[in-house]
Structure formats: C-alpha cells, structure tokens
Structure 1
Amino acid sequence: AIDIHADPEVTVQNGTAGVLRCTFKSSEVVSSHTTVTWYFIYYFSNGQGFPGQEEFKDRVQFIGDINKRDVSIQLSPTQFSDNGTFFCDVKNPPDVKGTQARTELRVVLKSLPQSKTTVIVAGVCGALVLLVLIAVAACIVMRVLHNRHDYECTSLESMNSEAPQPRKKVESRVEGSRSTSPSGQRQGPVIYAQLDHSGSKNSFHKMEPVVYADIRKN
C-alpha cells in the first residue's frame, strides 16, 4: 500500500504564506497516471495542477516535486477563513491503496518566533524566582529584628531588677551643734585673760590665765 505523510498541524500568521507539506512512499514508479488530491484545495493529474474551490483559485500553488514523492502546496496569502482540516491523498497506479494524511491549518493574528517566546518565558520565570527570594529575605530580616527586640527587652528588665535601690539622703544631725544665736552668724573663739593690777612698778605678774574657748558651729 502507498504510505502518505503530512504535517499534523501548521500554524501561520494571517496574510502570510502557509506551506502544507505532504510526501508519499510507493513501490511503483511515478507516471502520468499518478494523481494528487488536496481536499478541497488542489488537484494534480496528468502532469497538471488545478485549484479546488473558487476561494483558493488565485492563492494555491504546487511547490513539490512529484518525481521525488513530494506533493506539497503553498497557500498565500492565508486568511482566517482558511482555518480547518485538510487531507492529502495520492494514487500511484497500481499502488492506490493507502490512508489519507491529515493536516490541521491554524491561521492566527500574530505568531511569535520560538526564540522570542523562549525569552519571554525565561523572563517571567526569572521574575517569579526574584520575587520569591525577596519575600524570603524580608521574612528573615523581620525575624532577626523581632528576636533582637525581645532580647533587648529581656536584658533591660533584668538590669532593672538587679540594680540597687537609690539610698535616701540622710541628713546628719549632731545634737547641740547648731547655733542658737538669733543672728545665725559665725563667731570666733573668745579668750578671757585675768591680769595683775596691784600697781607695782617693778614687776608685772601675770596670774594664771584663764582661757575660755567658745567655739560655735553653724
């Protein structure tokens, strides 16, 4: 049996050229009796190609080489109405039994190149990883600050409990040391002396001095 292969899915941007690839393998030699059918886009028979439905008349082109078992076609420009499923069928008498190859055509508004898509995905993943790292760092900092605050409060309470109580100022009192003088002024020592007044001219005798000292403290 003839073996037919086609791309399972083709995605193209609207307004650009879309290639529908199809190849086949056959034990028979390709001849003028070999036919190709792309339902319902294109027909190839007796060495000539014919468009299928009217909507594909000016937009379909045979770009394969039937002698090399390549029966690919190109549709340009593609339209959103081209979205759908297309079948490639090849008959190479007497090898005519085979399963049609199926292709899903998707026409999209804009198609991103694979490299740009990879870059975008990598950028999004990197941003998510960065956000996770920032969140983890913030949690660590908050925990450290919280532990430090608890440690400082505990240390302060311990210091307050161990600190000696301030001593009360005790006013020293000495009985009898305060002056009872109304004026409150300081007075120096008072000395009393008793002398001899006998009237003798030749001698001057001092009697035993009597000294009284009155020292007042303020």
Structure 2
Amino acid sequence: MRRPRQGNTSLNVVLLLYLIGFFAPCLVSSITVSTPAELHASKGDTVTLSCTYTSTSRPTSKMTVDWSYRPQSGGLPMTFFHFSSRAFPPLDGQFTGRIRWQGSPARGVASISLVNVTLTDNGTYTCSVRNPPDVHGSPTSQIVLTVTPKMPSIRFSDVAVLLAFVLLPSAIITLILIGRMLCPMKQRNQSKAYRSPIEVTEGEEYGNHPLQAKEKRASCCGLYLTVLEDEDEYYNLKKKSPVDEGYAESQC
C-alpha cells in the first residue's frame, strides 16, 4: 500500500512543477510602460517627455530607466539618459545641459524634460524601464517629437507703436487733404457773392460806359440823318461848309 502512495506523490510534484513552469513567465512579465504617441512643441520651449509604468513589484535600487533618441532622418537609437538610484544626464552630445529628471519611481513616473528644444531635436524618443524581477512584458514605449519654428507674438506695446507711427500720421494727412478740398470751394463761393468796389468800378468802366458811348453815337447820327432828307444835299453841304462837316463829325 505504500508504493501507490509514493507514486501519487511523485505525480503531484511533477504536475506542480509543470504548472509553475507554465505560469512563471506570466508572473514576472507584468511591467507596462506608457507614453504619449506624439508631442508638438515650438522652438525654444521646454518640453516634458512623459513616461509612466506599472509593475507588480515595488521599485527597488535595481530599477533602471533609460531614454534613447533616434533622429527624424533615421539611424540607430542613441541612449542619452540613464537613471539608477540617481539621474545620470548626458555629458556630451546635443542634449548636454538640457535634460532634467522629472521622475518619481515610487509613483511609477519616469519622465524627463528637454529644455530649449531646437529643430534638430525632431525624432523618436524611447522610454525603457526595468524593475527586476519584472523585466518582460512591455518595458518600452516611444514618443515622436515634432519641433516647429516659433511664431512671432504681437504684444500690446507693439500695437501701440504701430498705431502711433502709422495710423495717427495717416489720419492727420487725411484730415489735411479734406480741409484743402473744402476750403477752395468756400473761397470761390464767397468771391462770386461779394465783389470789391474796385471790381465794380472796373466792370462799370469796361462794361457799361462803352455801351452808353455807342448809344450816344447812334443817337447823334440818327438825329443828323433825320435832318438831312437827301444824300445830294448832304454832299453839297460837305463841299460848301467843311467847317460844319468837321463839327458834325466831331459830334458824331
């Protein structure tokens, strides 16, 4: 009766080892890293590369965080930041002096910030977290950073300067032109409505007096012709009395 019991015990041990071997990878592969898929920034901004993770094990001194960068033009990823109990920022390269550690392992945060981003920072950033024994699963995640030129901003002082040096002189010039257009019209109307005594005298000299002279000449000649009834008598009188003729002509 003892041998069957030993056989059953052996079988149970084999089954237990088989189950442990089957489910063991699932127990240790439970770390998950998450980052935003895309991030947009303007030149000169400070950008936070957000990275969070979840793990079934509490963070220990063996936990590590690595950030790598692959340029937009392509190429191999380059690790530029490392964390293991403390931060190790880059000592050379394009990110020197521009990386700030923003992580908190106790809260599952492994973020960093990039100061004064430039157009050459465009590319793919990968966050990789290791927390033994959780070293499998999804320990990495990527962010695509797009940096664009910064648009010029218009401040209130710039608007005030624009109004003072452009719009105000334009308004003054417009008012002057309108005034010059209206003033000559008023002057012409006044000149038509009012004439000085000199202009009236000149008008009377050159306008009315010659007409009166013509009327006097016409009346003189008309009276002279009414006296003379015949042309023959007129010519005879001219021959006989040249003095009278001169007198008559002078009267006309």
Compute the TM-score of the two structures, normalised by the length of structure 1: 0.47
Which one has the largest radius of gyration?
1
More helix by share: 2
